[in-house]
Amino acid sequence: MEIQSLSSAEPFTTKDGSTIRELHHTALQSLAEASLPAGTTTQRHYHRLTEEIYFLLEGEADMEIDGVRRAVGPGEAILIPPGAWHAVAAATDLRFLCACSPAYAHDDTYLE
């Protein structure tokens, strides 16, 4: 049994500019907690292979996927299909879970 505590996960900055702490990372999937300070935006990007789901824990944000924008908040889950350009702009300090399949990889992140 593998159990990872959020408090012991080392933070790092992803290619899009968000800070994440990975809880699990296998060949098939990854799960991380991501944070973004109020007033900041991730760099618009897409993943050729990876499908993502963001689940908002705290904060409010403007989510953009392929040119469609929507305000999102705690308790909402956002599906980001492979190949979809996306960015998230934090209106307040933002904290969310990010599930990726296959697992997150810098090499599968393409910036605008």
Question: Hey, what are 61's tokens?
Answer: 């944000």
Comparing CA positions, the residue from 64, 7, 2 lying closest to residue 33 is 7
**Does the pLDDT of residue 18 top 90, yes or no?**
no
CA distance 90 to 93: 6
Comparing CA positions, the residue from 103, 104, 72 lying closest to residue 87 is 72
Residue 107 is given by DSSP the state G
Confidence band of 25 (pLDDT split at 50, 70, 90): very high
Q: Which residues contact 48 (CB under 8 A, 6 or more apart)?
A: 82, 83, 108, 110
Question: Hey, what are 87's tokens?
Answer: 């960015």
How much is the pLDDT for 64?
98
Q: Does domain 13-111 have CATH number 2.60.120.10?
A: yes
What is the share, in percent, of the chain residues with pLDDT greater than 90? 92
- Segment 33-54 shows an average pLDDT of 97
